Amino acid sequence: MLRVGLLLTPLVLVGLIPVSGITAEDSDAKALFEKRCSLCHPTSRPLGKTKSSEEWEKTVMRMKGYAGGRISDKDANIITVYLGEIRGK
């Protein structure tokens, strides 16, 4: 029993990390971006652009509009911050 408890604890801790939302690790943001932003076009479409944070926000909100509920507010925020970091100007 003790052994099982020791094995599960790190898994629970790892599972809790994405709950922190916008401060989610880049790898989580990247995974989310790759999932949500490849629904209609390849991710090379955004990755080929450089935009200011405001421009990324506008773009992501427009994509969210197209996606009809498949991109949540929280997803949109995380992706906007992520793109501002890796493709900002």
Note the residues at the interface with ligand HEC (CB under 6 A).
36-37, 39-41, 45-46, 49, 59-60, 62-63, 66-67, 71, 79, 83
Q: Which is nearer to ligand HEC, 29 or 37 (CB)?
A: 37
CB of 36 to ligand HEC, least distance (A): 5
User: Given its phi and psi angles, is residue 17 left (phi above 0), alpha (psi -120 to 50 degrees) or beta?
Assistant: alpha
Q: Which is nearer to ligand HEC, 9 or 72 (CB)?
A: 72
Q: How far is CA 41 from CA 11, 37, 53, in A?
A: 34, 7, 21
CB of 67 to ligand HEC, least distance (A): 4
CA distance 45 to 35: 14
